[in-house]
A and B are shown apart, each in its own frame.
Chain A
Amino acid sequence: MDKVNQKDLILYSGLIILGLAAPFLFPGFKVQLTILCVLIVLAMTWNLQGGEMGYNTFGNILFYGLGMYLTASVQVGMFFPLAEWTESGGEKTFVHTTSQYFQGMGVGLLVAALVPTIIAGAIGYAILGLRGHYFAICTLGLGIAAGEIAGGIEIIGAGQGFTTPPFPKDIVDPGARGDFFYFLSFVLLIGTFVFIKWIYGSRFKLILNAIRDNEDKAEAMGIQTMKYKIVGWMVSAFFAGLAGGIMGGLIGYIDSTDVAFDGREMGVFMVLMAILGGKGTLWGPVIGATLFHFLKEGFWTLILGWQYVALGVLIVVIVIYFPEGLMGWLREKYPERFGEVIDEKDRKAQVELK
Chain B
Amino acid sequence: MVQASLDGILLGILFALIAYGMALQWGVMNIINIAQGDLVILGGYIAYTMYLAGIHPAWGVIVSPIIMFFVGWALYKLVINKVVDRDLFISILATFGIAIIFQQLMNFIFGADVVVAQSEYGTTMLFDNSVTLPNSKIFSAVVSILYAIALVIYMKKSRLGRAIRATAQNARAAKILGVDTEKVYAATFGINAALCGIAGALIAITLTLHPYVGLPYTVRSFMIVIVAGLGNLPAVAISGMGLGLFEEFADYILGTEFRIGAVFMLLVFILVYRRFKLSKKREYLK
CB distance from A110 to the nearest CB of B (A): 28
A contact residues around B94 at 8 Å (CB): 315-316, 319-320
Across the interface, do B100 and A152 meet the contact criterion of CB distance under 8 Å?
A: no
- Whether the pair B88, A133 counts as a contact (CB closer than 8 A) is yes
Q: Is B96 part of the contact surface with A, judged by Cβ < 8 Å?
A: yes
How many angstroms between the C-alpha atoms of A129 and B273 in the bound complex?
11
Determine if B101 and A130 form an interchain contact, defined as CB atoms under 8 angstroms apart.
no
Binds A, one of B13-21, B186-194, B240-248, B254-262: B254-262
| Interface: A151 (CB within 8 A) | yes
Whether, in the assembled complex, B108 has its beta carbon less than 8 Å from a beta carbon of chain A, the answer is: yes
Chain B residue nearest to A314 (CB atoms) is B97
Contact residues in B for A129 (Cβ distance below 8 Å) = 272, 275-276, 279, 284
- In chain A, what residue has the closest Cβ to B31? A133
CA distance A138 to B102 in the complex (A): 23
Q: Whole-angstrom distance between the alpha carbons of A280 and B166 in the complex? A: 38
Q: Mark B79-91, 1 if CB is under 8 A from A, else 0.
A: 1001100001110
By secondary structure, the A interface counts as helix
Interface residue tally for chain A (C-beta within 8 Å): 40
**Mask of A85-101 contacts with B, CB within 8 angstroms, 1/0:** 00000000000000000
Chain B residues within 8 Å of A138, by CB: 267-268, 271-272
Q: How many cross-chain pairs have Cβ atoms below 8 Å apart between A and B?
A: 124
Report chain B residues within 8 Å CB of A275: 93
Nearest CB to that of A267 among chain B residues?
B96
Q: Which residues of A have CB within 8 Å of B279?
A: 129
Q: With A313-B97, A315-B94 as known contacts, state yes or no: A144 contacts B215, CB within 8 Å.
A: yes
Is A145's beta carbon under 8 Å from chain B? yes
A309 to B97: give the CA distance in the assembly, Å: 9
Residues of A within 8 A of B258 (CB): 148-149, 152
Asked whether A79 is an interface residue with its Cβ less than 8 Å from the other chain, the reply is no
Judged by a CB distance under 8 angstroms, whether A236 is at the interface is no
Chain A CB within 10 Å, residue with most, of B98, B100, B104: B100
Give the docked Cα–Cα distance between A260 and B255 (Å): 22
A38-76 CB contact bits vs B (8 Å, 1 = yes)?
000000000000000000100000000000000000000
Shortest CB distance B109–A (Å):
12
Q: A114 interface residue, CB < 8 Å from B?
A: no
Asked whether A142 lies within 8 Å of B104 as measured between CB atoms, the reply is no
Q: Which residues of A contact B264 (CB under 8 A)?
A: 141-142, 144-145, 148
Name which residue of chain A comes closest to B89, CB basis: A56
Residues of chain A within 8 A (CB-CB) of B88 are: 132-133, 136
Question: Do residues A309 and B105 form an inter-chain contact, with CB atoms below 8 A?
Answer: yes
How far is A270 from B193 in the complex, measured between Cα atoms in Å? 30
B268 touches A133 (CB 8 A): no
Kindly provide the distance from the CB of A142 to the nearest chain B CB, expressed in whole angstroms: 6
Q: For residue A129, which residue of chain B has the nearest CB?
A: B275
Q: How far is the CB of A171 from chain B (nearest CB, A)?
A: 39
Residues of A whose CB lies within 8 Å of any CB of B are 56, 126-127, 129-134, 136-138, 140-142, 144-145, 148-149, 151-152, 158-159, 264, 268, 271, 275, 305-306, 308-309, 311-316, 319-320, 323
22 contacts between A and B (CB under 8 A): A56-B89, A126-B276, A131-B286, A132-B89, A133-B89, A137-B271, A141-B219, A141-B268, A148-B260, A148-B261, A149-B261, A149-B265, A152-B258, A268-B96, A308-B103, A308-B104, A309-B105, A311-B100, A312-B100, A312-B104, A319-B83, A320-B79
* Apart from A137-B222, A141-B264, A149-B261, 13 more pairs, CB < 8 Å: A134-B275, A137-B32, A138-B267, A145-B261, A145-B268, A152-B261, A264-B100, A312-B98, A312-B99, A314-B97, A315-B96, A316-B101, A323-B90
